Amino acid sequence: MLRSKIGGIGYYVPEKVVTNDDLTKVMDTSDEWIKERTGIEERRYGIKHKETTSTMGARAAEIAIERAGIQKEEVDFIIFATLSPDYYFPGSGVLLQRELGITKTEIGALDIRNQCSGFIYGLSIADQFVRTGMYKNVLLVGAEMHSMGLDFTTRGRNVTVIFGDGAGAVVVQPTEEENQGILTTKLHSDGTYAEKLAFINPGSHGGYHSKHTGEEVDYGYSDAEYGDIFLNQHMLDNAQIFPNMEGQFVFKLAVQKFPEVIMEALSEAGLEKKDIDMMVPHQANLRISAFVQRQLGLRDDQVWNNIQKYGNTTAASIPIALCEAVEAGAVKRGDLVCLAAFGSGFTWGSALIRW
């Protein structure tokens, strides 16, 4: 049976290191609070005007393409996962294509917006394309430049201290080898709590969703029949253009959904917890990872965490962590690798890969 495998993997993180102490200079927070609640010690920020989400994605992609043993012109489909795109439109996939210098137009470029689950959603899409024989080299990139859109005042501290910039990429290719490749991917969503972790302006909502949130917010809309909905001066003046999160609410659901979706994938593949060799969870919070690790009965060396160094890089976090694990020799041919994520939407998912 034709399966898909990760044929090449790479990551890129910007050089600029921002420590917790650096953040204390601009907002009321502390190294102790951040480390204790999240495990984060430092994160990377891209260089303004020189780096963007798509350029960081391209740097990671170049490594993945080389390791996959192909030329960039052999990429036949691009999937780009991000919540911090260069532009509202067009998508980052075409910008990545341009940055990589891929001039061939017989390929497609798809942007997906599934936040922290973006990489797993993208992997599932790539897997389907490869299994059906439609494409041979699907380039999947997860990249984020959060640092350009966060609230660097005390008002935004619960969100801002968590996020970092970076990119990870894989090339998904066919394999006919027995006992290798992506065994299954499981995807879920529940829009009930969409606003619990959201970045809502600019947008076309016009306050419509208050019937779900139960909270009427003044966004400063005028009486004009058209215009001023996406973005207006009131939103800028009242800091309504930043991400917001009800951290504890998200945390409680995350620790429930991570183990659930991992068990679902194991059960479908006819495997058990004890079969997992390496788990690479989305890096949202070290406490969430530790909880999931306990639930699955995994040893410390069976879980790859790097949130301490990079913070939460959303769609990039799994491919960065997986790449580090592979480079460190912690994932070997034949190992059962489990990926899992939960985030805004809410969306969540898992993937099992026989490496």
Give the interface with ligand ACO as residue ranges (CB under 6 A).
29, 33-34, 37-38, 115-116, 157-158, 161, 197, 247-248, 250-251, 254, 284-285, 288, 312, 314, 343-344
Q: Which is nearer to ligand ACO, 31 or 73 (CB)?
A: 31
d(CA 217, CA 327): 48
Annotated catalytic residue 116: yes
Select from 70, 77, 72, 76 the least CA-distant residue to 58: 72
Annotated catalytic residue 285: no
Q: Which is nearer to ligand ACO, 158 or 232 (CB)?
A: 158
Q: 305: which DSSP letter?
A: -
Beta carbon of residue 272, minimum distance to ligand ACO (angstroms, whole number): 26
Which member of 116, 146, 285, 338 is catalytic? 116
Beta carbon of residue 162, minimum distance to ligand ACO (angstroms, whole number): 6
Beta carbon of residue 248, minimum distance to ligand ACO (angstroms, whole number): 4
81: which 2 tokens? Answer: 């996962």
d(CA 285, CA 40): 8
Q: Which is nearer to ligand ACO, 171 or 341 (CB)?
A: 341
d(CA 84, CA 86): 7
Beta carbon of residue 107, minimum distance to ligand ACO (angstroms, whole number): 28
Q: Which residues pair with 16 in a beta bridge?
A: 45
Which distant-in-sequence residues (6+ apart) come within 8 Å of 143 by Cβ?
A: 53, 54, 56, 57, 60, 80, 81, 82, 92, 166, 167, 168, 169, 315, 316
Q: Which is nearer to ligand ACO, 193 or 221 (CB)?
A: 193
Dihedral angle computed from the Cα positions of residues 114, 120, 126 and 130, in that order, rounded to the nearest 10 degrees: -160
d(CA 242, CA 282): 22
Which member of 137, 201, 312, 323 is catalytic? 312
Annotated catalytic residue 312: yes
Which member of 137, 201, 282, 305 is catalytic? 282
Beta carbon of residue 8, minimum distance to ligand ACO (angstroms, whole number): 26
Q: Which is nearer to ligand ACO, 158 or 213 (CB)?
A: 158
- Catalytic residue numbers read 116, 282, 312
